[in-house]
Amino acid sequence: MLKIEHLTKKYGAKVAVDDLSLEIKPGEIYGFIGHNGAGKTTTIRCACGLLDFDEGEITINGRSIREDPLACKMDFAYIPDNPVLFDFLSGIDYLNFIGDVYKVEKSVREERIRRYSDTFEITSNLAQPISSYSHGMKQKLAIVAAMLHEPKLFVLDEPFVGLDPIAAFQFKSMMRELCDKGGAVFFSTHVLDVAEKLCDKIAIIKNGKLIKAGTMDEVKGDVSLEETFLELEREKDA
Amino acid sequence: MLRQLTLINIKGLIGRKASNGKKKFRMPTWLVVVLIGVLLVASFFTMFYEFAKSFYSAAMGWMYFSILGTMTFGFMLMTNIAMAEGQLFESKYNDMLLSMPIKSHHILLSRLIAMLMYDYFIQATMLIPALAAWIMASGKIGAFFVNTLVVSIFWPLLTLAIGAIVGFGLYRVFARSTHKNLLKIIMTFGMIGLYYYFTFKMEMAMAEGGDLAPIGNALGKLKFTEWYGKGIMHTNVKYMLLIIGIAVASIALVFVIVNRFYIKAITINGVVVAKRTYKEKPVRERSVMAALWSRELKRFGAYFTYLINNLMGIIMVLAFAVFMIIKGGSLFKELVDLTQGERELVTGLVAGGGMAAGCFMCCTFGVSGSSISLEGPCLDHLKSLPIRTRDIINSKLLFHYSLMAPAILILSVVFCVVCRFDWKLAACCILLPQAFLIFSDMLGMLVGLFYPKLNWTNEAEVVKRSMAVMVQMFGSMAVLGIGIAAYFLFAAEHIQMDTYYMISTAALFVLAAILYYVIMHFGARKYEKLGG
């Protein structure tokens, strides 16, 4: 579904991502963890076509993000860590805009807006301008917008920040459901407990380099993910 | 702490940010302020000099200074009312500041002082040319000079006091309204209308043989401005002390009142925001271009500074069209009579004048110049969507054109009908301003793509101060000026006016086409690299 091969991204002399390779297959919830400034967001932004990269290749369903960005973007939904949406639109105007961009037909759009807005309990706020939303409400609206065209791949940067427990639970359920139907989710997070319970596979990045990747059992073994992560961080420092 | 807070507020008003480390040319703040000040002083000087000559010759200097006092009062008051909401109450730093060991009256006082500094700047842009004009008209520097400086130290305190209280009231009203921008537009146009009405009446009174008595009577009814004028001109200490005393007492009283409710006022914003009720409506599917255009329109209506800056141009064009409908015929006839029946010459010149006016208004229309920059915070989100770059750019170009084109077309058609142009001149009169509008549109977009200002926090930084908008405005004016100058300097003796207009129209379309090519090839690539 999403294949990152030998990705290298530099900001001047600083190497933000160094020869990183990952593959997210259909049916997988793939977690991506690392310390602040490790290169998680840079990797995700490169994967979504927001950042050009220096070396490597990124393909989504076999199509290169560089050569065919439009077709790739139709296949996935991206939710950043701090969803800066179009603040000047109301919630419903924003959803309709997204629906038009992704060519979601009228017949299904209304039903999906109703269903997902009710699930995340933002229906009553849809007439309000997004500028009046709290962070959590913006996050929910971004999730509803992402679900509108029912993509097969979700790329998320810290998706649970600002979500209340109910919304977080519902979103996790949706992620699981999507993957059970053959979709995939690639997300970064600092919340290791969530990653441990939710993810099928995990990748740990430090200072731009991938230090461990694989299934949850392969990566953490018998200890907790938190202990594994801390141990790996200490090993590399040593 | 008060000094630091005040300095932060002043920097916030000027809108300067710390450098992001990229090596770019950056004009020093003091230079920007000086340039703006010089421009304003120069533009006011001409008007004040005409007033000064009339009032000096009529030995009614106090009226001149009363007018100065009224104008400075009006401008500062308008600015204070417009600023009070955002500067005093709606700051996004309220929560952060209140969570720190900072006294609330220090927060309020620092913001009021920052606004006062702004008032002094505005006052100076009128005071300097007014004093210079009076010195030139009277030929001497008298006691009025010192009196003006003394009174001007305290004069802004009064406008600040009124502005703060009115601003607070408006802040509470706007918070409860779902049509905040509409109310602000009505208020803004009301104030601008008053200003133009006042200056129009002044100029009419002076044009009608210099009978200044009605002006004196009107000013006499405004006690404050009468005291201002007479206090300065006649060194009337009683009047000056009255002004100073009332100004100081007003600001002190307002400070005490606002401070009493300040913490509550700046922390209840979220609670009293007006709520719109959501009602499910049938969805209308739109094409991507239509969705993008609609998004541009929503943004236009949501950002007040963006809206008012550009709406002003459209309204001025329409107002000019209405003026031509009412007065155009008679003015045209007077011009023909003045030139002793040279109808063809007058027709050509009037057509040129009408086209130049339309083109000039296009220069002040900065939608495309600010369009890319306004994406700033949400650029990443826009780029993450499956939308072609050319569609995004085209939608912005189309939006700019579609807003202004109807007004320009109406003005052109009015000119054609009122002045009875033949088909050649009518075609030029309609097509040339449209071509100019398209050219200006392209120019703004091109500069906006290569020199965007993406890290703004207030849309005024982009709409009023960005390089793209400045280049769009002055670049377009330069092209207009060159076109006019070229005719009178080189072409007038060789070709007919309507032929020159046709050539200019064609040249503008070609120029626009070239700019469009550059935008679509190089500008689009630049856009794709933005935000990285």
Q: Going by DSSP bridges, is the β-strand pair A2-11/A14-24 parallel, antiparallel, or unpaired?
A: antiparallel
pLDDT at A84 exceeding the cut of 70: yes
Beta strand A201-206 pairing with A29-34: parallel
Contact A87 B378 (CB under 8 A): yes
Over 70: is that where the pLDDT of B408 sits? yes
Residues of chain B in contact with residue A109, where contact means CB-CB under 8 angstroms, are 283, 285
Residue A237 CB partners (closer than 8 Å, separation 6+): none
For residue B220, the model assigns a pLDDT of: 60
Prediction pTM value: 0.79
In sign, the C-alpha dihedral spanning A4, A5, A10, A13 is positive
**Is B22 near chain A, with CB under 8 Å?**
no
- Shortest CB distance from B381 goes to which of A85, A106, A127? A85
d(CA B26, CA B480): 28
CB-nearest partner of A52 from B278, B380, B532: B532
Q: What does DSSP assign to residue B280?
A: -
C-alpha to C-alpha distances, A161 to A171, A188, A229, nearest whole angstrom? 12, 11, 20
Please give the pLDDT value at position A12.
86
B249 Cβ partners below 8 Å, 6+ apart? none
Q: Which residues in A lie closer than 8 A to residue B380 (C-beta atoms)?
A: 45, 50, 80, 84
Rounded Cα distance, B493 and B382, in Å: 53
Render pLDDT for A137-170 as a digit per residue (tens, 0 to 9): 999 999 999 999 999 999 999 888 888 888 888 8
pLDDT, position B416: 92
What's the pLDDT band for B18 if we cut at 50, 70, 90? very low
Residue A68 exposed, middle or buried by CB count within 10 Å (0-12, 13-18, 19+): middle
Question: Comparing B197 with A95, which gets the higher pLDDT?
Answer: A95
Q: What percentage of chain B reaches a pLDDT higher than 90?
A: 37
pLDDT at B265 over 80: no
- Select from A204, A194, A198 the least CA-distant residue to A234: A204
Chain A, residues 123-142, CB within 8 A of chain B, namely 123-129, 131-132
Confidence of residue A20 (pLDDT cuts 50, 70, 90): very high
- Which 3 state secondary structure label does DSSP give B99? coil
pLDDT over threshold 80, residue B13: no
Q: What is the pLDDT of residues B73-87, one digit of tens each?
A: 888 888 888 778 777
Write out pLDDT tens, residues B175-185.
666 667 777 77
Residue A66 has pLDDT above 80, yes or no: yes
d(CA A216, CA A221): 8
Structure-token pair, residue B270 = 């979220």
β-pairing, A55-60 vs A2-11, is: antiparallel
Chain A contact present for B278, CB below 8 A: yes
The nearest CA of chain B is from the CA of A190 a distance in Å of 22
Contacts of A92 in chain B (CB under 8 A): 278
User: Is the model more confident about B345 or about A208?
Assistant: A208
Q: Which of residues 379-398 of B touch A (CB under 8 A)?
A: 380-381, 383-388
Give me the phi and psi of B462, to 5 degrees please: -85, -50
The tens digit of pLDDT for each residue in B185-217 reads 777 777 777 777 776 666 666 555 556 666 666
With 50 as the cut, is the pLDDT of residue B112 above it?
yes
Query: What is the predicted pLDDT for the residue at B500?
Result: 92
- A212 lies within 8 A of chain B by CB: no
pLDDT at B23: 46
| A188 beta partners | A32, A157
Q: How many CB atoms lie within 10 A of CB B86?
A: 17
pLDDT band at B219 (very low <50, low <70, confident <90, very high): low
- Res. B67 pLDDT band, cuts 50 70 90: confident
Q: How far is B184 from chain A (nearest CA, A)?
A: 17
Mean pLDDT of chain B: 84
Three-state secondary structure call for residue B365: coil
Contacts with A88 from chain B: Cβ below 8 Å? 298-299, 301-303
For B343-387, what is each residue's pLDDT tens digit? 778 888 888 888 999 999 999 999 999 999 999 888 989 999 999
Q: Does B280 contact A110 at a Cβ distance shorter than 8 Å? A: yes
- Identify the pLDDT of residue A204: 92
User: Whose CA is closest to B300, among B353, B374, B351, B204?
Assistant: B374
More confident residue, B89 or A101: A101
Q: Which among A85, A105, A128 has the least Cβ separation from residue B276?
A: A128
What pLDDT sits at residue B446? 96
CA of B96, closest CA in chain A: separation in Å? Answer: 16
Question: What integer is the mean pLDDT of B306-314?
Answer: 88
Whether A100 and B282 lie within 8 Å, measured CB to CB: no
Query: Closest approach of chain B CAs to the CA of A118, in angstroms?
Result: 12
Contact A97 B380 (CB under 8 A): no
Q: Does A112 touch chain B (CB under 8 A)?
A: no
**Å between A222 CA and nearest CA of chain B:** 39
Q: What is the pLDDT of residue B270?
A: 45
Contact call for A84 and B276, based on CB within 8 A: no
Band (pLDDT 50/70/90 cuts) for residue B271 is very low
> Looking at residues B331-345, what average pLDDT do you find?
79
Predicted confidence at residue A164, as pLDDT, reads 87
CB contacts, 8 Å: B282 with chain A: 106, 110
Structure tokens at B394: 């085209």
Nearest neighbour of A126 by CB, restricted to B278, B294, B381: B278
| Distance from C-alpha of B521 to C-alpha of B514, rounded to nearest angstrom | 11
Query: Is residue B15 helix, strand or coil?
Result: coil
Which range, of A18-27, B167-176, B251-260, averages the lowest pLDDT?
B167-176
| Rounded distance between C-alpha atoms, residue B527 and residue A50, angstroms | 11
- pLDDT in the model for residue A238: 61
pLDDT of residue A237: 62
Q: What is the 3-state secondary structure (H, E, C) of chain A?
A: CEEEEEEEEEECCEEEEEEEEEEECCCCEEEEEECCCCCHHHHHHHHCCCCCCCEEEEEECCEECCCCHHHHHHHEEEECCCCCCCCCCEHHHHHHHHHHHCCCCHHHHHHHHHHHHHHCCCHHHCCCEHHHCCHHHHHHHHHHHHHCCCCCEEEEECCCCCCCHHHHHHHHHHHHHHHHCCCEEEEECCCHHHHHHHCCEEEEEECCEEEEEEEHHHHHCCCCHHHHHHHHHHHHHC
Give the closest-approach CA distance of B488 to chain A in angstroms: 47
- Minimal Cα–Cα distance from A85 to chain B, Å? 6
- DSSP string for residues in B434-453: HHHHHHHHHHHHHHHHHS--
